[in-house]
Structures are given as structure tokens and as C-alpha cells.
């Protein structure tokens, strides 16, 4: 098994101390909460969330987190998938590695974003590696935690932006004895996946991204009405108040980091606000996302004290529409999926200015920023179709 046999890669076991879990419950019980939002009384829907997370929703989630949530179950789940760590450029990188039993399986590196984590993929890793349908493609699945996230180290110096992370992923796959591989990601993971395809075409067989971004300066001439709406919605997002989280973390990650590392309720509210806004639901993200899996994600941030270090990816990489070098082009086969309630949507005519070999394009009818959690069955099928098209196209 490459993950065990290669020098520099070590098995990793996740076990929080009872003292840390007791401390979390004590802090939750002692939390000081503000008064309710002044838009209360609004019916179900976005209006109810107009000032952020409603107090009643937060109280319910905090109560469940303190009295019923089981972190040990998530630790056991990670252990069953397989956890490892290796040190790359002085930073320890944690990753899940689920090898397929199939002889025809292809290596696939899957990268999460913010405010997500490896928790986004624990429910799809097995099906990707060992599908029930023998005719479906299978993958050796590698799911790393970004530097500063989860059980990866928190970088002690600047420099860990998207380019360096992409280079680290190539080194990681080297250490797992995967000379060629596929790549998938959304959010920052989609950005890093794009960089992998553009800068390492000799290693990357092809990519699947949920976050296609076009070069700057393109016009809307020739776009359909629907495509123009995509462009306007994305522009409004990144230039308006809804992008305040990104601007804050890009400019002052240390300042917001104190709250995120010191207060579990503050961390919970910051992340819940984004899950609520970015999922394809009417009123609550828990219409489609498991409350337990959401809390796995939040608790991972809490126990690893990575609220500040995770925020720094915005400082390092300057998120949003200005992420890429304007000249970055992807020549390897690319599969692009744009979910209807994602925070930014790039029309295909614009996307093909950067992704020069689009072999699969999909605009699903349902799903938002976290499709592996919202619509996991559909997500797996879409990823399979996209990567099958990538492999069929060849390089």
C-alpha cells in the first residue's frame, strides 16, 4: 500500500482528549449570547437570516452540540477511511487515503475549501473508491487537509497560497507513488485544482472543478440572458456586502481569528451563516445537510484551533474573482459543474477562455456550494461522468 510503504508518510490516529471535549461543552454552556435579531417575525426564507444567524436557530444547534453530538463517531469514521500525515516544505500535511480494491482504479486528489474541510467528503469516499456498480469508474481517493486546516500544520510563515499548495499536492502524490492523477475541488479546492491542471499538465490527467473562473476583462457580448444573469449575480456577490467575510479574512485574518479560536459559539455562527446562505434550501441548511456532519466540520475547526490559520488562505491568495494570474490556461481535459445555488457561476463561453479542453459541462438543477453534503448521490454520479469524459479524452 503506497501510503504505508513510502518514506515520509506515516499513519495518523485522531483522538481528542476527554478534557478538550469537556472544555467545549463547558464553553457552550457558559456562552454569552446577544439579543434576538430585530427582523424576527419574518417568515421562513432569506429574510429571516437578513441580519445573520437567527438566535433561535443558534440556540438549537448549540444545545444539540453540547448535549447530543458525538465527536467520537466522526473520529471512528476517519479511521475507517485511513488517515496519514507527511511533511512537505516544513509543514505537516494530513490526508485521508482510501485505496480502491479495483485494478483499474485511477488516483484522484480531492481538495476542500473554506469553510469546509475533509468532512465534506467522508460520506462519498467509499463509493468513489469501491462503487456498488461494477461498471462505474473507481478511484484511489486522496483527500488532504489544506495547510492551516484540520490536522494539517498551521504554517508559521507566509507563502502558503494556492500555487504553493498545488505544488505540495504534486509532491504528496509522488510520495504515494501516483505519477499521474486526476484532481477535483470546489471553492479554494476548485481554484487549487485549476492551478494543478494548468501548471502540471505532465502529471495531471485532467480535472473536475465546481469553481470555474474566467480571465478578467471579458465582455458579455454573445452571452444568453441566463448567462448574463450568472455574471451579474457573481459580480454583485464579490463587490457587495455578501463578500465581507472574504475581504475581512484577506485583510485581517488575525483579528477575526481571536474570536474563531476562543469562542466555539462565535466559530459556529461564522460558519453556519455561510452554510445557510450558500446551500440550495428554503430556510435552513439542515433541510439537506446532516446536522451531525455540519458539526463534524465545525468541531474539527474547534479542536484543531484552526479558525485563524484557515482564514489566512484568503490573505495568502486574495480570494474571489482576482485569484488567478490573467494568463493562466488549462490545457488538460476539464470537466466543469456549476451548481445553481453556488456563490459564483461562470458561463461556459467565458470558462472556455481559460479551460481550453472542456469535455464535460454540467449545470445541475439542484445543489449549492457544498454538493457532496447537499446532494451526495448526485455529486458522485456527476463527478464520475465528468472524470470518465476526462479519461476518455486523453491528453
Let me know if 174 is exposed, middle or buried by CB neighbors in 10 A (0-12, 13-18, 19+): middle
- Which regions of the chain does DSSP assign to beta strands (E)? 9-11, 83-88, 91-98, 106-111, 139-144, 181-185, 204-209, 334-337, 358-362
Q: What integer pLDDT is reported at residue 319 of this predicted model?
A: 47
- Topology classification of domain 2-31+46-393: Rossmann fold (3.40.50)
Determine the 3-state secondary structure of 358 from DSSP. Answer: strand
Confidence of residue 46 (pLDDT cuts 50, 70, 90): confident
Please say if the pLDDT value at position 55 is more than 70: yes
pLDDT digits (tens, 9 = 90+) for 309-319: 999 999 999 74
pLDDT of residue 6: 63
Is 313:320 a contact under the CB 8 Å cutoff?
A: no
pLDDT band, residue 47 (cuts 50/70/90): confident
Residue 371: band (very low, low, confident or very high) from pLDDT cuts 50, 70, 90: very high
- Residue extents of the structural domains in the chain: 2-31+46-393
Contact status, residue 124 vs residue 380, Cβ threshold 8 Å: yes
User: Given pLDDT bands bounded at 50, 70 and 90, which one contains residue 199?
Assistant: very high
Torsions phi, psi of 230, nearest 5? Answer: -60, -45
**Residue 2 CB coordination number (10 Å):** 16
Average of per-residue pLDDT values in the chain: 94
pLDDT higher than threshold 50 for residue 298: yes
Q: What is the DSSP string of 148-163?
A: TSTTS---SSS--SHH
Q: Kindly state the average pLDDT of the residues 113-138.
A: 97
Amino acid at each position: 500500500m503506497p501510503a504505508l510503504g513510502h518514506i515520509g508518510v506515516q499513519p495518523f490516529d485522531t483522538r481528542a482528549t476527554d478534557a478538550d471535549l469537556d472544555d467545549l461543552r463547558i464553553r457552550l454552556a457558559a456562552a454569552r449570547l446577544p439579543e434576538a435579531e430585530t427582523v424576527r417575525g419574518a417568515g421562513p426564507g432569506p429574510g429571516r437570516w437578513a441580519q445573520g444567524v437567527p438566535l433561535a436557530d443558534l440556540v438549537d444547534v448549540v444545545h444539540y452540540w453540547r448535549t447530543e453530538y458525538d465527536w467520537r463517531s466522526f473520529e471512528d469514521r476517519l479511521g475507517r477511511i485511513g488517515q496519514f500525515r507527511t511533511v512537505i516544505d516544513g509543514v505537516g500535511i494530513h490526508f485521508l487515503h482510501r485505496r480502491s480494491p479495483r485494478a483499474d482504479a485511477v488516483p484522484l486528489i480531492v481538495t476542500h475549501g473554506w469553510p469546509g474541510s475533509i468532512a465534506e467528503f467522508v460520506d462519498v469516499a467509499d463509493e468513489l473508491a469501491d462503487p456498488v456498480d461494477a461498471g462505474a469508474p473507481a478511484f484511489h481517493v486522496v483527500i488532504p487537509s489544506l495547510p492551516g486546516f484540520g490536522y494539517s500544520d498551521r504554517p508559521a510563515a507566509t507563502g502558503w497560497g494556492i500555487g504553493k499548495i498545488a505544488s505540495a499536492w504534486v509532491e504528496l502524490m509522488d510520495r504515494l507513488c501516483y505519477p499521474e492523477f486526476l484532481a477535483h475541488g470546489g471553492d479554494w479546492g476548485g481554484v487549487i485544482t485549476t492551478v494543478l491542471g494548468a501548471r502540471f499538465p505532465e502529471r495531471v490527467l485532467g480535472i473536475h472543478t465546481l469553481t470555474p473562473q474566467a480571465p478578467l476583462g471579458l465582455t458579455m457580448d454573445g452571452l444568453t440572458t441566463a448567462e448574463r444573469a450568472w455574471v451579474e449575480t457573481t459580480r454583485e456577490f464579490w463587490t457587495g456586502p455578501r463578500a465581507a467575510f472574504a475581504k475581512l479574512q484577506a485583510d485581517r485574518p488575525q483579528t477575526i481569528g481571536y474570536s474563531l479560536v476562543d469562542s466555539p459559539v462565535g466559530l459556529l455562527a461564522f460558519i453556519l451563516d455561510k452554510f445557510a446562505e450558500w446551500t440550495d434550501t428554503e430556510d435552513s441548511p439542515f433541510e439537506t445537510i446532516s446536522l451531525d456532519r455540519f458539526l463534524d466540520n465545525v468541531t474539527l475547526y474547534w479542536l484543531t484551533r484552526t479558525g485563524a490559520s484557515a482564514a489566512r488562505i484568503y490573505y495568502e491568495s486574495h480570494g474571489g474573482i482576482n485569484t488567478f494570474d490573467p494568463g493562466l490556461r488549462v490545457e488538460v481535459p476539464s470537466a466543469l459543474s456549476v451548481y445553481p445555488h453556488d456563490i459564483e457561476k461562470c458561463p461556459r463561453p467565458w470558462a472556455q477562455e481559460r479551460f481550453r479542453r472542456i469535455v464535460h459541462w454540467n449545470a445541475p438543477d439542484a445543489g449549492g456550494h457544498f454538493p457532496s453534503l447537499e446532494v451526495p448521490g448526485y455529486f458522485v454520479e456527476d463527478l464520475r461522468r465528468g472524470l470518465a469524459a476526462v479519461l476518455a479524452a486523453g491528453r
